[in-house]
Structure 1
Amino acid sequence: MAKFMDVHHGMSGITAEQLKEAHAADLRIEGEEGVSFEHAWADPDSGTVYCLSEAPSKEAVQRVHTRSGHPADEIHPVPLSV
């Protein structure tokens, strides 16, 4: 499976609890799309949230995020890592 980094904008002021809740919402349904969300990060000042996942496609990642109420603004494949 491929890795993807997705980005959400417009989440200024997000708290650690809100990030945890949004991530948990994704985890509850990720298996239905064959996605595995690995980690999420947030910058409350800029309102940017990042999520790292393994998935069959970026469309599968977007379907999970959309269904859980926070569609991604950008989804980038991450083909190389060290």
Structure 2
Amino acid sequence: MPEFMDVHHNMKGLSREDLQAAHAADLAIQAEENVNFKNAWADPEAGVIYCLSEAPSAEAIQRIHERTGHRADEIHELPLKV
């Protein structure tokens, strides 16, 4: 299954607890779109969150994020891995 990195902007001041809650919300419904959210990282000072996942499509990822209230600003497929 393809891997993707999605990016969320304008998240300045995000706490560790905020990131954990957002990731948990995604995990709770990810199976409904056959998505596997692997990791999430954040830079609260820059206001950016990155999420790594496996999914059938970028659209499936976006549907999960929209339902959990944090639509991705960018979703990039990662076709090469070393």
TM-score category by the smaller chain? over 0.9
Q: Count residues in correspondence.
A: 82
Quote how far apart the aligned CAs of 1:21 are.
Answer: 0.2
**1:52 paired to 2:58:** no
1:78 aligned residue: 78
1:68 aligned residue: 68
- Kindly report structure 1 stretches of 4+ aligned residues shifted beyond 3 Å: none
Unaligned runs of 5+ in 2: none
1:6 aligned residue: 6
TM-score, structure 1 normalization: 0.99
Write the distance in 1 (CA, Å) between the matches of 2:29 and 2:49: 19
Quote how far apart the aligned CAs of 1:3 are.
Answer: 0.2
User: Cα RMSD over matched residues?
Assistant: 0.3
Unaligned runs of 5+ in 1: none
TM-score, structure 2 normalization: 0.99
